[in-house]
Amino acid sequence: MSLFPNPLRRKFLWQGNKDGKGYSFVNWETALRSKDRGELGFKNLKLQNESLLKKWLWRYTEERNALWKEVIIAKYGELNPWCTEITTEPYGVGAWRSIRNLWSQMETNLYIKVGSGTKTKFWKDAWIDQSPLRDLFPDLFQICGNPDANVGDCWTEQGWDLVFRRLLNDWEVERVAEILGMLGGVTINANATDRMLWKHSKDGLFLVNSAYRRGLQVMAGRPKHFWNYFWKGDIPTKVKCFTWLVIKRACLTQEVLQKKGRQLVPRCFLCNLTSETNSHLFLHCNYTAQIWNLFLSISNLN
């Protein structure tokens, strides 16, 4: 499912003979930049291919009872209502594996539109804000009755009904009021399904072209001078090297080990709740988040 046409097209931009000795007129990345940035605007086929594959991830979130989806679920298992588990097959060229590997990119460009609230976790999914309520209200999450409750479970005809394991202190009552304030505009519709929508279109529908443009923006947003700052910064070298590995997603997380063919059950060894991906381990894991929060409060950045 991958295409390697760029080297062929690259030759058109190169001056030279059959020995391959020549000079490139422009840097290839420059040629790929879009025309409104004053460049050649060649289609980046790798990005185009990825955008087409992402369409399948989108269809997975949208379609119900589709045969192809049921086959995929039977083979790989569900991570949550929106995606399968990471594929663990070390051998062969699984089409779904190439597609599934794009989920972490895809996920950051989607948001949940709650219908009946039965597919969405009240505390753990980012459905009301960019961050899950768990991260916005860690104090209340600690004492909530059911950390895995669905949004629909917390809704009654009388309104929101949040259950806690003990009576609330005065300041906690104020925090609950904050949550209820955020939920003020939300209505639960028992007849509608929860959906994942694309952030970059007006109607929330995924379009391959929109995904392609988004990919170009992401590429353009990582200017080379970032790396100059990064490497010249006054930081211990071993910290820089490690950070570089994290940014490049090259640390030997279980996710990476799987891609390299190691057979294992992918569980975060800190929380044991979900797969050990780069972003989970270094950003989103409960334990890691506590370290970040500590760091931010010490540095007065909270």
Segment lying near Zn ion (by CB under 5 A), choices 45-53, 61-69, 192-200, 268-276? 268-276
CA-to-CA distance for 47 and 70, rounded, in angstroms? 28
Judged by CB under 5 A, does residue 176 bind Zn ion? no
Smallest distance, Å, CB 129 to Zn ion?
A: 21
> x/- string (CB under 5 A) for Zn ion, residues 66-105?
----------------------------------------
Smallest distance, Å, CB 278 to Zn ion?
A: 12
Segment lying near Zn ion (by CB under 5 A), choices 171-179, 191-199, 242-250, 265-273? 265-273
Q: By CB under 5 A, name the one of 102, 256, 257, 271 that touches Zn ion.
A: 271
Q: Do the beta carbons of residue 265 and residue 254 sit within 8 Å?
A: no
Smallest distance, Å, CB 88 to Zn ion?
A: 18
Q: By CB under 5 A, name the one of 151, 197, 268, 278 that touches Zn ion.
A: 268
Please name every residue paired with 144 in a beta bridge, in sequence order, or none if there are none: 164
Q: Among residues 186 and 270, whose Cβ is nearest to Zn ion?
A: 270
Residue with tokens 């969405």: 120
Judged by CB under 5 A, does residue 285 bind Zn ion? yes
Judged by CB under 5 A, does residue 255 bind Zn ion? no
Judged by CB under 5 A, does residue 284 bind Zn ion? no
Give the closest residue to 198 by CA, choosing from 49, 47, 45, 55.
55
At position 52, the amino acid (one-letter code) is: L
CA-to-CA distance for 216 and 110, rounded, in angstroms? 17
Q: Do the beta carbons of residue 49 and residue 3 sit within 8 Å?
A: yes
Judged by CB under 5 A, does residue 270 bind Zn ion? yes
C-beta atoms surrounding 177 within 10 Å: 9
- Token pair listed for 163: 């259950």
Smallest distance, Å, CB 30 to Zn ion?
A: 40
C-beta atoms surrounding 73 within 10 Å: 13
Give the closest residue to 65 by CA, choosing from 57, 73, 53.
73
Smallest distance, Å, CB 265 to Zn ion?
A: 14
Q: Catalog residues that contact Zn ion under the rule CB under 5 A.
A: 268, 270-271, 285
